[in-house]
Chain A
Amino acid sequence: MRQSRTRSDINKILDEPEVDIKSFDTIDQITLRLRKVCEKVSATFQCIETSLFLENRLEVENRYDLIATTFENWQGKKGSYLPFKEEGLTGWVLENRRPVRISNLSQFEKEKTNLRKEYEGIDWKDSFKLKPTAKKYLEIPKGSILPPLSFMAVPVTNDRKLLGMIRCCTARKSPWFFSKGQLELLKLVAVQIGRVWNDWLQNIEDNEEKKTWKNFVSNISYLNARVRESINKGSVDENTLYKQVLDLAGNSISQAESMSIKLTSGLKTHEIFPDETPNSSRMARPAINTLRSGKNSLFVHQDSSNSAVLSVSASDKNGSAPNRPANLGNSDSESSSSGGELNIPINVQNEMVGVINIQASGSKPFLPNAARIAELLGQQLGLYLSLWHSEKQQRQVFEDLWHQLKSPVGQVYARARSLLQGITYKNWHPDDLEIVNEIRTEVLRLRSVARKAKRVAVNAGVFTNLSTKGRLSLNSKAVGRLFSRDAERILTEGYKDTEILQDTYGIHFFFNGDSFKRLEEIKVRVDYDFLEQAVNCLLDNANKYSFADTAVTISGSEIIKDDKRYFYISVRNKGFRITSTEIIKLKERGYRGSDAKMVTGEGSGIGLWVVDHIMGAHGGQLEIIPTTSEGWTEMRLLFPVLLK
């Protein structure tokens, strides 16, 4: 809509059936046309100079380059520009976004007070050296009278955005003064220039953006395929992955001068710089490794900095080069302090693990799509890491489960073999109670070891189920009403097996059987296999994390929570503290896996995660009560009480 309006306006001004701004591919083409505009304005107003200064936002923001001029002394002077804060008449026009018309510059000092009533704060320091300079330019002999030196300037805007200014100086012949009418006309010219310039910039930006996105999509598809392949092989080299992502950022964001990935953990910072660009030398970079990628040589750098500040800084709006004679600077010899920086968070499962930092070159601002591309790269990298970590975790869990299963299975085999040998070869009598007790103890050991093996096997099954289906279902064959005797059996066997199997360091289990009598009056349905699994996990944890010579109590009770009635099995112990902030994390996969390994040498970190899912499948809850001031930590398995 905006474009068609602009096109129509342009056609109206130009009295042309079709003028295609899109045909101007280069700045030279558009400036040539704008030069013709200046020439036309100069001819119409009989000016000695008409100059056009425009902001080329594709190159530098807030700097107004001399795009076209009829003033011979400035012609061909490439790279001349007006800084935004230029002191003087043109600077006043840019800063105030108002037109100015001064009839006779040679009277500026004399008329300054009056002029300031109309143009607040206007000043022009060059007024003192005007006469000799003007005489030189106008080739008027010394001592001769100057003609009136008229001046007018108008800001060039589009949609309220300042794009630059056009100015006219000094008539060649009478009429000598620029009139109000001429100023109005110049305003009209400025409006049209604003539209044409903005249209041209927009067109270049659109083309650039299309090209960038096309390139980005193609590159990211390639990277996706590579990462997927690496994940499937189980051999993702994270350093290579970071390099590939930064390489992609460099290829897709043309203004990017240096890029880095800063990770909040692992004490790593990865940085990539395009090789040997003129501005890259001003950045400190203790490179330890050089990698080749595409046409650029890239440095991958690691240091101990792990801080990441999330911020997006815009270019320095006041960044400007010092003033130059005749209000002109030169971009060839000076670097602007503008530019930009993008810091994009990398999130893995809702947690920020780092940032991608992209810095623009000293003068070139980012194109509007740069932030979006960087954001997508951040998300993509987060996804890659998430997939890779998940894959790694899964592999680790299976490996841990395998080790956990291997040990009890081996023990069962060895103990059963040994028991059979004893029974076969020992000369014993069935009435020999001592031997019978020995056999019973050994069988109990066998049961506890087998129970452990069963627990690991169920865990593996649940884990597989959850990994593939994302949810857990109860086995209808194993589901039945829970009576007190069953609860007592499962819990008693559970803690006894725990005592038998593990070195309990004087940890004593107290079972309150009476508290389960209530189960005769209320209806609670459970999957017996899963109940056993959940109970054993809680007892195992209580045993693992309790201090020596402390008690673990097991009881049952009823509770109403959120208007729902539950029967719960409680396991309380005194040991490692659990804070309220840890409660949610405890139910996550792998949270205490490493702690468990430190305590017992085994543990996959999926125990409570599995229990949580088991309780969910029952319509119940795993409730973890943070450690009380008396040191009690309690875990409850809440089963819904069914209506009769």
Chain B
Amino acid sequence: MNQDFAEKLSLIVHSALQKKELRGVVDVLKNVVEGVNAYGCVLWVKDPSTNVKNVSRNRSLYVFADWFDEGGGGGEPIREIPIEESANGLAITSEEVIHINDLQTDPRTFKGDYSVHSAKFTSMCIVPLKFDSDQTNATLSVYRRGEVHPFTPDEIGFIKQVARVIPSLYQSICDKVGHVLISTKSWMNPK
């Protein structure tokens, strides 16, 4: 990873550690998008209330947090994709980074209305990760739209690094939020 991306990563971490709201994780995604000049970023997770290792048929990945430039460009927001028929699902089951040159033509991708017609996603970088779990259960997906513009190895390396730290950053945000919550003076103060 070159110096530029190392600095960006450092900024992301520094910024995340200042956050006092859960929403801070969305800012991390925004920073990723801006760092690689992409259109949007989604943190996909399997339903975290279940700790089942084997992925059964008809299971889905859900949006845990997302950020899209200009709010996502209209249309129904993306909420859920099938594990079996998506590159994100494949990244989880194979536990490998997947780089898609063009979502529209790659047979591994899920071609939902939003992805294909509303957002018109093209290039995509998917990094599997363990989020709030001891199993690989999530992906960090970065999307480009319009013209096909594959991610460079440095960009992929940067996204991989962010994906590696994002569970810890989120935990840190949660800890800070928790501290704020339980130390709030206005709770029971009769004044």
Contact = CB atoms under 8 A, between A and B. Distances in A.
B25 A175 contact: yes
A174 B63 CA distance: 8
Contacts of A102: 49
A20 interface: yes
Contacts of A144: 76
A226 B170 CA distance: 75
A29 B182 CA distance: 20
B182 A13 contact: yes
B84 interface: no
Interface stretch (A107-115, A201-209, A433-441, A556-564): A107-115
B58 interface: yes
B17 interface: no
Interface stretch (B85-93, B119-127, B139-147, B183-191): B183-191
A180 to B, nearest CB: 5
A171 to B, nearest CB: 8
A103 interface: yes
B107 interface: no
A406 interface: no
A118 B50 contact: yes
Contacts of A44: 21-22, 177, 180-181
Contacts of B170: 175, 179
Interface string B149-163: 000000000000000
Contacts of A36: 186-188
A40 interface: yes
Contact of A181 (B62, B66, B132): B132
Contact of B187 (A33, A146, A179, A188): A33
A637 interface: no
Contacts of A189: 181-182
Contacts of B189: 14, 16, 19
Interface in A175-191: 175-177, 179-182, 184-185, 188-189
B190 A176 contact: no
Nearest to A152: B49
A145 interface: yes
A13 B58 contact: no
Main DSSP-derived SS at the A contact region = helix
B28 to A, nearest CB: 11
A505 interface: no
B49 A14 contact: no
Interface in A1-41: 10, 13-16, 19-21, 23-24, 29, 33, 36-37, 40-41
A117 B53 CA distance: 13
B178 A176 contact: no
Contacts of A45: 22
A310 B123 CA distance: 82
Interface in A102-156: 102-104, 107, 110-111, 114-115, 117-118, 144-148
Nearest to B171: A181
Interface in A184-229: 184-185, 188-189, 192, 196
Interface of A: 10, 13-16, 19-21, 23-24, 29, 33, 36-37, 40-41, 44-46, 101-104, 107, 110-111, 114-115, 117-118, 144-148, 173-177, 179-182, 184-185, 188-189, 192, 196
10 contacts: A15-B185, A16-B189, A37-B187, A45-B22, A145-B80, A175-B43, A175-B170, A176-B62, A181-B174, A189-B182
